Amino acid sequence: MPTKVTYREALNQALKEEMQRDDRVFLIGEDVAYYQGAFKVSKGFLEEFGSRRVVDTPITELGFTGLAIGAAMGGLRPVVEVMTFNFAILAMDQIVNNAAKIRYMSGGQLSVPIVIRGPGSAAHQLGAQHSQSLEAWFCHVPGLKVVAPATPHDAKGLIKSAIRDENPVIFIEAQLLYPMQGEIGDGDYTIPLGIAEVKRAGTDVTLIAYSKMLLVALEAAEKLAQEGIQAEVVDPRTLRPLDLTTLAASAKKTGKVVIVEEGWPFAGLGAQIAESLYRRVFDYLDGPIVRVTGRDAPMPYARNLEDAAIPDVDQVVAAARQVLYRR
């Protein structure tokens, strides 16, 4: 029987099971131990695993991320919790110049099996410095893998694969997803990195969306169904490496594509996905791919402005109508 748990609980279970399975796995980050995680993902960990394996850090992202990268070089399997990905900016040098490159620069002598995880994207009125979708930054870098699951089931299966992967993996969660409930698989399952999933089958238009935006796309698909439009919703789940085979198959089938992302439009991830699809299935498309993105501004605080800055269901529905020429 599948059980229903929150996204937070799914992560908690997965991390716990991985730490039970492998002594080399440890959790390190700000307030992960005594506070039990800023978003309570590591609830109960200190009690079960002790402070050797659940390591509270000072507020020094560069220092503890770099240290964890070194620990991975030294044979451990660190899971770094960044309280939010906004703070990972402080550790960008360590992530980009060290984690991503050490294997390559050393001619394959060294490897960095590390997971850097935490919430990305906006929550509610947290202001410009705490409301950013930075996945495109990480996706740009060869040597990194980037994962952004939307459901509890995917979160559990993907974080396990990320921990067992030999490469550095950036694992982007979302604050607003933590309380969302969903059915998860039984026991110790994994979902391979780099595999997209069709979350809703359809024939008329393809909606590509990941993380929080998957929920927006699914809701939009419901609305479109009421108009007799059958939207297919595809979640890449892993953003690098991107499962172009699955995305292209859907695009080829429907001939119409909308990409939904919360991040900024210029040089955003959707631009890359669109370019990749144009190269693969241009001849099968009935018209240009349409992107629905966050607005091109730092996140405003005022509730109405923030709402306007983030893609919503109506925008996705409108975009679908646009590619279907049904204005």
CB 148 within 8 Å of CB 172 = yes
58 binds another protein per the rule CB under 8 A:
yes
Size, binding site for another protein by CB under 8 A: 39
Q: Which stretch binds another protein (CB under 8 A): 62-70, 179-187, 224-232, 255-263?
A: 62-70
Interatomic CA distance for residues 74 and 65, integer angstroms: 14
CB 238 within 8 Å of CB 195 = yes
63 binds another protein per the rule CB under 8 A:
yes
Selected binder of another protein within 37, 66, 263, 270 (CB under 8 A): 66
For residue 264, what are its two tokens? 């900024």
105 binds another protein per the rule CB under 8 A:
yes
> CB neighbours of 298 closer than 8 A, spacing ≥ 6?
128
61 is catalytic: yes
Tokens 């030999």: give the residue. Answer: 166
Tokens 């099996």: give the residue. Answer: 113
Angle at alpha carbon of residue 180, lines to 179 and 183, rounded to 5°: 125
226 binds another protein per the rule CB under 8 A:
no
Selected binder of another protein within 72, 150, 218, 323 (CB under 8 A): 72
166 binds another protein per the rule CB under 8 A:
yes
Looking at the Cβ atoms of 42 and 65, the one nearer to another protein is: 65
Paired with 318 in beta bridges are: none
219 is catalytic: no
**Cβ 200 to another protein shortest distance, Å:** 31
Cα dihedral 221, 222, 226, 228 in deg (nearest 10): 40
Q: Which stretch binds another protein (CB under 8 A): 107-115, 122-130, 199-207, 319-327?
A: 107-115
The residues of the shown chain that bind another protein, judged by CB under 8 A, are: 26, 52, 57-58, 60, 62-76, 93-94, 97-98, 102-111, 142-143, 145, 166-167
